[in-house]
Structure formats: C-alpha cells, structure tokens
C-alpha cells in the first residue's frame, strides 16, 4: 500500500485550516516540508487537490472528494488504533464521549461509578455540553459518540442517530405552590402567571406569559430554584426522585397544553464509524438505564 496516513493527515489539516502556514504550525513541521508533502501526493496520483492563492489554499472539486475519503480513512485508523490498545491490554485504552446536560445529570453519576469500578485501567473523558457543541466535537474527532434529547440533535448527512429509549417529563413545582390548590390541574393561563424554569429554550409561545422564564443548563441550580420559589420547572421527575419521595416537589397537569410526556434520548455517531468495545459497554449502560426508567 502506497498510502501514507501521515501525509493524509497533512491534507486534512490544510483543508481544515485553509492555509499552509497555519497547518504547518499545527503539525509542527516547516511550511516547505508541508508543501513538498502535499505536492508529492498530487504528483503521485496525478490530481490537483488545492488551488493556492493569496487567500490561502482552497479545495478543487477533486480535492473535496479526496478530503472526504481521507477524513473517513483517518477516522477509522484512529478507531483501529484505539481498539488495538483495548484488545491488547484488556480494558485499557481511552474513550471520549459527550452528553447533553439533562442526560448527564441523570445517567453520568451511576455510569462513572460503574466504569471506575469495572474498567479501572480505562481512561474515560466525558464532555457535558449542548448538542450543537457536542456535534462539532464529534465531527472533529474530539469525542467518539454523544447522547442527548433527540429534539436537540441537529440532523446532518454524516451522522447516524439512533433512539435508545426515553425519559419521562413533567411540570415540577415545590410543595405548597399556589398551583397545587386545585388538585394539580391547571390551565396555560394559570401556569404562565409564574416563572418557567428550563435547561433549553422552550418552544411554547411566550405571548401569554407574565411570569417570565429562567434558562440554565445547570440542573442543580434549577432544582434549588424550584424548591425556593414559585417557579415551575419543565424537566424530568427522575431528576428529583428523592425530593418527590419526601414530598418537597410535586407535578401538575396543564390540561390545555400539549407537551410530550417523555423525551426520546438518542445516540449519535459519525456515519460509517464502528463503536469501540468501551463505547459498546457505555451504550448498553445508557440503553439499560433508559429501559428501567421509561415507565416511571
């Protein structure tokens, strides 16, 4: 095989950064050496991959096709390298994945305990962020996969999305909240007299809201806020199981508001990628957690 993965990485880096100088700096080689590497590939296969100009390096039509194939090959090579480490040393190696804030708040604590008890030689890197940022991390090979609510997942042609299960959702409020006086059945007009708490922007129209809203990705902050104010928190009862068992938090039924009673949780990976053994174990853990809690 005449392909050189190091030179393919040179191609992909120049394509991503748009200039030979920035690419050479990132690759820690001289610009003339990088230029010779790219020219060698172009001469070897008789194609022109980049047009060089004052504004940097732009891909030719043939170059775009070549870069797509090179990125896929390099991705698979990295997966193979990681898998070889795993195969050769048992459970050793490295796994990087991402989770949306709600999924992380629900699942990551028990997942981390399981991984550190059973996979003590495995280096695990978990990133908690918005689905959009995690998708960028996925496409740039900073993470192998991500988990989030399917409604938050941007759809792109180069990602494979699979629903693993769902989690229940509800309107959460503190014990003694004024909205509990009628048995927990209220209308939208009654609901929107009070501030709404959520981790994401709500799709519900704000036309009739009086109480305002507080959007925050930190679920501990949202829980403290709902316990100490008359706010209503749009979230999963699973996040406050202990508080609900103690009677500190309850739910209400908004009779004229159409909102799903659950949210589908999805797994997203790059199209054509194959999960590493460590990734498979994490996926099955998340799937099992969702299966156990879907009816709660």
Per-residue model confidence as pLDDT tens digits over 156-182: 878 999 999 999 999 999 999 999 987
- 98 in the same domain as 223: no
Q: What is the mean pLDDT of residues 125-143?
A: 91
**Is the dihedral angle over the CA atoms 196, 201, 202, 206 positive or is it negative?**
positive
Q: What is the mean pLDDT of residues 133-138?
A: 92
pTM attached to this predicted model:
0.67
Of 30, 63, 84, the residue at which a domain comes to its end is 84
- 208 in the same domain as 64: no
- 62 in the same domain as 116: no
Residue 266 lies in a domain: no
pLDDT of residue 179: 92
Number of Cα atoms under 13 Å in the Cβ half of residue 211? 17
pLDDT tens digits for range 38-55: 888 888 888 899 988 877
Structural domain boundaries, residue 60: 5-84
CATH of the domain at 11: 1.10.10.10
Residue 265 lies in a domain: no
Residue 287 lies in a domain: yes
**Cα–Cα separations (whole angstroms), residue 132 to 69, 78, 124, 136:** 24, 23, 22, 7
| pLDDT bucket at 120, cuts 50 / 70 / 90 | low
High-pLDDT (> 90) share of the chain, %: 41
Tell me: pLDDT of 30 over 50.
yes
**Cα–Cα separations (whole angstroms), residue 268 to 112, 140, 144, 147:** 20, 14, 9, 6
Of 58, 84, 110, the residue at which a domain comes to its end is 84
pLDDT: which is higher, 276 or 166: 166
- 108 in the same domain as 231: no
- 254 in the same domain as 204: yes
- 181 in the same domain as 253: yes
pLDDT of residue 296: 53
- 281 in the same domain as 150: yes
- 71 in the same domain as 108: no
Q: What is the mean pLDDT of residues 60-67?
A: 90
Sequence-ordered list of residues with C-beta below 8 angstroms from that of 15, at least 6 positions apart, any chain: 50, 57, 59, 63, 67
High-pLDDT (> 70) share of the chain, %: 92
- 247 in the same domain as 174: yes
pLDDT of residue 106: 93
CB atoms near residue 52 (< 10 Å):
13
d(CA 110, CA 236): 17
The SS3 assignment for 73 reads: helix
- 155 in the same domain as 202: no
- 155 in the same domain as 137: yes
pLDDT of residue 260: 76
pLDDT: which is higher, 88 or 168: 168
pLDDT tens digits for range 203-253: 655 555 667 889 988 899 999 999 999 999 999 999 999 999 999 999 999
What is the average pLDDT score of the chain? Answer: 86
Give the number of domains in the chain.
Answer: 3
| pLDDT bucket at 279, cuts 50 / 70 / 90 | confident
Of 84, 109, 143, the residue at which a domain comes to its end is 84
d(CA 84, CA 211): 56
pLDDT of residue 208: 59
């Amino acid at each position: 095989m005449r392909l050189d993965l190091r030179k393919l990485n040179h191609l992909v880096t120049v394509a991503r950064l748009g200039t030979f100088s920035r690419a050479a700096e990132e690759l820690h080689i001289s610009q003339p050496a990088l230029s010779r590497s790219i020219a060698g590939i172009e001469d070897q296969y008789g194609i022109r991959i980049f047009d060089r100009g004052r504004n940097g390096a732009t891909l030719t039509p043939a170059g775009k096709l070549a870069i797509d194939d090179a990125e896929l090959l390099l991705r698979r090579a990295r997966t193979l390298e990681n898998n070889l480490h795993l195969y050769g040393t048992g459970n050793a190696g490295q796994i990087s994945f991402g989770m949306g804030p709600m999924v992380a708040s629900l699942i990551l604590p028990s997942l981390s305990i399981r991984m550190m008890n059973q996979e003590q030689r495995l280096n695990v890197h978990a990133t908690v962020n918005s689905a959009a940022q995690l998708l960028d991390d996925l496409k740039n090979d900073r993470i192998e996969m991500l988990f989030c609510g399917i409604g938050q997942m941007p759809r792109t042609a180069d990602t494979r999305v699979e629903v693993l299960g769902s989690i229940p959702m509800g309107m959460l409020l503190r014990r003694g909240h004024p909205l509990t006086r009628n048995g927990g059945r209220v209308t939208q007009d009654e609901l929107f007299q009070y501030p709404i708490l959520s981790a994401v922007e709500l799709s519900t129209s704000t036309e009739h809201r009086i109480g305002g809203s507080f959007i925050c990705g930190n679920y501990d902050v949202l829980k403290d806020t709902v316990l100490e104010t008359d706010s209503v928190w749009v979230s999963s009862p699973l996040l406050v199981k202990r508080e609900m068992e103690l009677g500190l938090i309850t739910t209400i039924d908004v009779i004229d508001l159409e909102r799903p009673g659950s949210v589908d949780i999805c797994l997203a990976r790059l199209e054509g990628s194959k999960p590493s053994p460590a990734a498979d174990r994490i996926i099955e853990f998340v799937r099992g957690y969702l299966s156990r809690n879907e009816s709660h």
